[in-house]
Structure 1
Amino acid sequence: MAEAATGDFRELFHRGQLTIGISELSKMTGVSPRQLRYWQKKGYIIPKNQDEPGRARIYTLKMVIKAAAMSNLLQTGYTLKAAAAQVDERMRPAQTMYHVLFDRYQGFQVNDDGEIIVDLGTFDPDPTQDLFAKLVDERPVFILKPKA
């Protein structure tokens, strides 16, 4: 199998590498920077660099989605507190999927037939095997292989 570059893809999406500043967040959500700072003060949104006082605020993709969703709910009549709670609840399944996919993702390979095989790392119930996935007729199929 041909080994493909894995680090670039994983690092791009893992641990909040995609970030924007407060001005861009304001433009994307239609929420003023002043209002975004208030949301931050209340703990509803958290800049990635919150532990670096005096530096310009930067926000992860997760916070962009949260702020946009909160803005939409506010426009439909939710209070700020209720909008934040509703968004947190709606984001829980997405956060679970993110962790399942990106915490397990080890990379991918392209086999001799051109199939993409995704490496999901050690199979937890049996650490002597690795778990892989591929698509067959656009459906995931899982494969266990003994560790190399």
Structure 2
Amino acid sequence: MAQSLQGDFRDLFHRGQLTIGISELSKMTGVSPRQLRYWQKKGYIIPKNQDEPGRARIYTLKMVIKAAAMSNLLAAGYTLKAAADQVDERMRPAQTMYHVLFDRYQGSQIGDDGEILIDLGTFDPDPTQELFAKLVDEQPKFILKPKN
């Protein structure tokens, strides 16, 4: 029988629990807090707690990546709007992959033979089956199992 792994990390990434403040974001990106507030005013970056006026701004990992990428493009000569647009376009495949993985991720288990199985939930074409992924020789492999 498979065992559940302890310390499920889904909520950490999926719910935006990895956050940093504006000072840390400024240090990481080399962009001043004043510029970051301007970028926020223009709608290019959005703090996680934007609906809480008067509170210190905190940013999710997604916004950290976006701000860092925008900073690099600005240094390469892009305008602010062009940098933001370019980053949004470049992030689309990563956002799709993120949603495919984390929206499907149900947890992980240790299989009968000791391998780690990633539970991707119900297999859409056949709801009586569950889809799992595992690594075999560093390559992802998929397994269908009858739903319990």
* Residue identity matched to 1:112: D
CA contact 1:4–1:110 (8 Å) conserved in 2 = yes
More moved, 89-98 vs 104-113: 104-113
Q: How many angstroms does 1:2 deviate by?
A: 2.0
Give TM-score scaled by structure 1 length.
0.96
Name 2:118's counterpart in structure 1.
118
Q: 1:100 and 1:123 mapped to 2: Cα distance?
A: 13
Q: 1:2 and 1:126 mapped to 2: Cα distance?
A: 24
Where do residues 20-35 of structure 1 align in structure 2 (5 Å cutoff)?
20-35=20-35
Name 2:17's counterpart in structure 1.
17
Q: Alignment RMSD, CA only?
A: 1.0
Q: Per the alignment, in what secondary structure is the counterpart of residue 9 of structure 2?
A: helix
Query: Percent of aligned pairs with the same residue?
Result: 87
Give TM-score scaled by structure 2 length.
0.96
Name 1:5's counterpart in structure 2.
6
Structure 2: gaps (5+ residues): none
Name 2:59's counterpart in structure 1.
59
Q: How many angstroms does 1:113 deviate by?
A: 2.0
* Residue identity matched to 1:123: F
Q: 1:69 and 1:79 mapped to 2: Cα distance?
A: 13
Q: Per the alignment, in what secondary structure is the counterpart of residue 125 of structure 2?
A: coil
Q: How many angstroms does 1:42 deviate by?
A: 0.2
Q: Per the alignment, in what secondary structure is the counterpart of residue 130 of structure 1?
A: strand
* Residue identity matched to 2:134: K
Name 2:78's counterpart in structure 1.
78
Name 1:103's counterpart in structure 2.
103
CA contact 1:5–1:107 (8 Å) conserved in 2 = no
Q: 1:2 and 1:44 mapped to 2: Cα distance?
A: 43
* C-alpha spacing 1:92/1:118, structure 2 compared with 1 (3 Å): same
* Residue identity matched to 1:105: Y
Q: 1:19 and 1:61 mapped to 2: Cα distance?
A: 6
